[in-house]
Amino acid sequence: MLKLSQIIEEVGLKSVYLHNDCEIEHGYVGDLLSIVMRSAKENSIWMTVQSHVNIVAVATLTGIRAIVLCEGMEFPEDTLQKAQEEGISLLVTEENAYRVSGKIYSLGVR
């Protein structure tokens, strides 16, 4: 288990919206929402390339605490607004999901 702020710093992620410095227990990678919804665990950090507003609904439903948007993409305004309402942290990175996940995994997050 690691604090979100530790992950952000060690991996080099950029905060778009930081809700709180929560404990992260698990990591998850996925872009098909149906699969994320059935597989992601509570208190996870989620790496994806999906940026549409539904990702916030998925995070709320599953207990994902933070979403990392990979490959240099940007969150649209409606996603940012919804995340602020729902209390889901949003992070971005230029790197791809494989590299980011590898880095988080090597910090001990399973």
Partner 1 sequence: MIGMTESIGNEFLPNENKVYKADLHIHSCLSPCADLTMVPSTVCTKDIDILAITDHNTAENVAAFVCLCRDKVVIPGIEIHTFEDVHILGYFSTLSDVMEVSKIVSENTNPFPYDPETFGYQLLLNESEDFIGMLDNYLGFPTNLSIDQTIDLIEKHNGLAVFAHADRKFGVIYQLGMLPKNAHFVEVRKRETWQELKSTGHIVLTSSDAHVPDEIGSRKIFFQNDAFSGKIDAHSVISAVALGRFRTIWD
**If binding means CB under 8 A, how many residues of this protein chain bind partner 1?**
14
Select the residue interacting with partner 1 from 18, 33, 73, 80 (CB under 8 A). 33
C-beta of 12: minimal distance to partner 1 in Å? 27
Burial class for 90, CB neighbours closer than 10 Å (0-12, 13-18, 19+): buried
> In 18-98, where do the E strands start and end?
23-24, 26-29, 44-48, 66-69, 89-92
Stretch of 16-24, 26-34, 65-73, 98-106 contacting partner 1, by CB under 8 A: 26-34
| The two structure tokens encoding residue 74 | 């940007």
Taking the least distance from each CB to partner 1, the nearer of 1 and 37 is 37
C-beta of 51: minimal distance to partner 1 in Å? 8
Taking the least distance from each CB to partner 1, the nearer of 22 and 33 is 33
Measured at the CA of 89, the angle between CA 86 and CA 94, to 5 degrees, comes to: 140
φ, ψ dihedrals at 86, nearest 5°: -90, -10
Q: Which residues bind partner 1 (CB under 8 A)?
A: 32-34, 37, 50-52, 54, 57, 60-61, 82, 85-86
